[in-house]
Amino acid sequence: MATSRSSRRTAIGAVASLLLLAITAVAGPAATADSHPPPSADPAAIRDWNVIATDTISANLSPTRPSGQVVIWHGFVSAAVYNAVVGIKGHYAPYKWRARGPSTASPEAAAVTAAHRVLLTYFPASQAPLDAAYADSLAKIPDGNAKRQGVAFGERAADHLIELREGDGRFAPVEFTAAPAPGVWRPTPPAHLPFIDTWLGTLRPLLLTSPAQFRPVEPPALSSARYAQDVNEVKVMGTKTGSPRTAHQTETALFFGGNLAVQLQTAFRDYTARHHLDIADTARMFAAANASATDAVITAWDAKLHYGFWRPITAIQLADTDDNPATEADPQWQPLLITPPHPDYISGHAAVTGAVTQTLTGVLGTTHLDLNIPSEVTGTTRHYEYADQFNEDMINARVWAGIHFRTADIAGCQAGNRIGGWTLTHYFQPLRPTHPQASPPAQPTCPHDGAS
C-alpha cells in the first residue's frame, strides 16, 4: 500500500516537472517574472534637459541686459516636465491638470518630450539643436510601447502648459510713465537703458492669484531715518573705490553679480544627483523651485512698476534733493557693479532666493538645504547648509555691490518667503502616504527687518 502511494507521488512529480519544463521552453526565461521590463525612468534625463533649457534660454536672450525673464522660461519648462512625469508615476498632484498617463508609459520619454516641445514652441530659432538633443535623448530609451506612450503623454503635458499660458501678458506693451522726481527711478549710468521687461510686472503668475498678491508695503519715506540709514550704508559699503569692504565681502558681491537662474539650476542638478532623487522627486524639486521663482520675479517687477523707487546711484548723486538732512550728495559716486535697468524696490535676486529657499525647505522638510551654488563671475562655488545663510549672503551682496538698498533686499526676501509658503500649500502636494510631505517651516528664512 505504502509502495503504491509512493509510486503515485513519484509519477505525479515527474509529470509536474515535465509540464514546468514545457512551459519554460515555450515562454522563455522571463516566464516566471514580468515579461516586460519596467518603463525607462532615469532622472538624469531631467537634469540633461535642464542644461539644454539653460543653454537655449541663454542663446535667445541678451546677456547684456539683466532681467528676470530667464526665470520665467525655466518655470514653464519645469512645470510641463513635472506634469509629464507625475501624470504617469502618480506620486504628486499634477500642476493645474487632471490628466493621467498609462502606468506602462516611460516617464523618461515623457519628460524629454515635454521639455523639447515647450522649448521649441517658445524658442523656434533653436530648432536644430533642440531636435538634435531630442533625438539623442530618445535614442537612449529602449524602443517599444512604453517609449511610444511616454512620448505621446509628454506631448500632451507640454501642450497643456502652452495652452495654460496663452494670453498671459507676455511681451505686453507696459509703460513706466512716472516723471523724474526725488525718489523716482530713472535710467542709470553708464548706458542709461530704459526699464527692461516691464511686462513681467503684469504677467499672470504660475501659482499666485495676481502679481500684487504679496506686494510689500511702500519703501521708507525719503525723510525717514530708515531711508538715511539705507543710503549711507550703501554709499560706504557699495562704492566702487575706497570702500572698507573686506575681500570676502567684495567676493560675495561679485559672486552673485551674474545670472542667478543659471546658478540655481546648476545647484538643483547637483542636489538631485548627489541625493539620488528618483524621477518624480527630481521633477517635483525643479518644478516647485522654478515655479515659485517665476512668481517671485513677477512679484518683484510688480513692486518695481508700482513704486518705481530710485536706485542708490541716483539717490546718492542727487541726495541734495531728498529733503533728508542725514544724507549728503556725491555727484561722482559709482557702485561696485553696474546698476541693472529697473527700479530698486524690491530686489529681484532677493525675492527669488527667498522664494526658492522657502519652497525647498518645504520640499525637503528641513531648512538644511545642502546646496552647492557656483558663480561664473568668480569661478568659485559656495556650499550653503542652511536657507538663512543663503538669504543673508544674497541680501548683503546686493548692498555691497552698490545696486540695492538693504530695505529692498529684505522686503524682496520676505515677499519670496510668502510665495514659497503659498507654493507648497497649494501645489505639488503628495498623493500617497509613501511620499510624506512636511509642511513648510513656520519660521521664515529671511530676517525680520526692513520695510515689509
DSSP code of residue 434: T
Average pLDDT score, the chain? 90
Measured between its terminal Cα atoms, the distance across the chain in Å is 95
pLDDT digits (tens, 9 = 90+) for 75-107: 999 999 999 999 999 999 999 999 999 999 999
> Which pLDDT does position 329 carry in this prediction?
98
CA distance 60 to 67: 13
Cβ atoms within 10 Å of 199's Cβ, excluding its own: 18
What is the reported pLDDT for 11?
43
- Within 13 A of 217's CA, how many CA atoms are on the CB side? 7
What does the alpha-carbon distance between residue 94 and residue 80 come to, in Å, rounded to a whole number? 10
Instruction: Give the pLDDT score at 64.
Output: 63
Distance CA 181, CA 15 (A): 99
Q: How far apart are CA 135 and CA 113, in angstroms?
A: 10
Q: What is the pTM of this model?
A: 0.90
Instruction: Give the CA angle between residues 99, 103, 108 to the nearest 5°.
Output: 90
Of 445, 385, 437, residue with least CA distance to 419: 445
Is the predicted pLDDT of residue 324 greater than 50, yes or no? Answer: yes
Query: Which of 48-62, 90-104, 398-412, 436-450 has the least mean pLDDT?
Result: 436-450
Q: What is the pLDDT of residue 10?
A: 44
For 72, the grid coordinates are 520665467
The per-residue pLDDT for range 243-256, each reduced to its tens digit, is 999 999 999 999 99
Dist. CA 113–CA 95, nearest whole Å: 17
Which CATH number is 198-426's, of 1.10.606.20, 2.60.15.10, 3.20.20.70, 1.10.260.40? 1.10.606.20
For every residue of 186-217, DSSP letters joined together read: ---TTT-PPPTTGGGGGSPPSSSSSTTTTPPP
pLDDT tier, 7 (very low <50, low <70, confident <90, very high otherwise): very low
Task: Give the separation between CA 350 and CA 426, rounded to whole angstroms.
Answer: 23
Residue 4's pLDDT is: 42
- Helix (H) or strand (E) segment spanning residue 374: strand 368-374
pLDDT for 15-67, tens place per residue?
Answer: 334 333 333 333 333 333 345 788 999 999 999 999 999 999 999 997 766 68
Sequence-distant (≥ 6) Cβ neighbours of residue 2 within 8 angstroms:
none
The yes-or-no verdict on residue 348 having pLDDT over 90 is: yes
- Is residue 438 within 8 Å of 366, Cβ to Cβ? yes
- Give the CA radius of gyration of the chain: 27
Domain boundaries for CATH 1.10.606.20 within the chain? 198-426
Distance between CA atoms of residues 313 and 425, nearest Å = 39
- The set of cell numbers assigned to 233 is 550704508
Cβ neighbours of residue 6 under 8 Å, at least 6 residues apart? none
Burial class (CB in 10 A: 0-12, 13-18, 19+), 175: exposed
Using the predicted structure, report yes or no on whether residue 117 has a pLDDT greater than 90: yes
Q: Residue 122's pLDDT band (boundaries 50, 70, 90)?
A: very high
DSSP class per residue in 281-341 = HHHHHHHHHHHHHHHHHHHHHHHHHHH-BPPHHHHHHTGGGS--TT----TT--BSSPPPS
Question: Among candidates 268, 352, 256, which has minimal Cα distance to 51?
Answer: 268
Say whether pLDDT at 328 is over 90.
yes
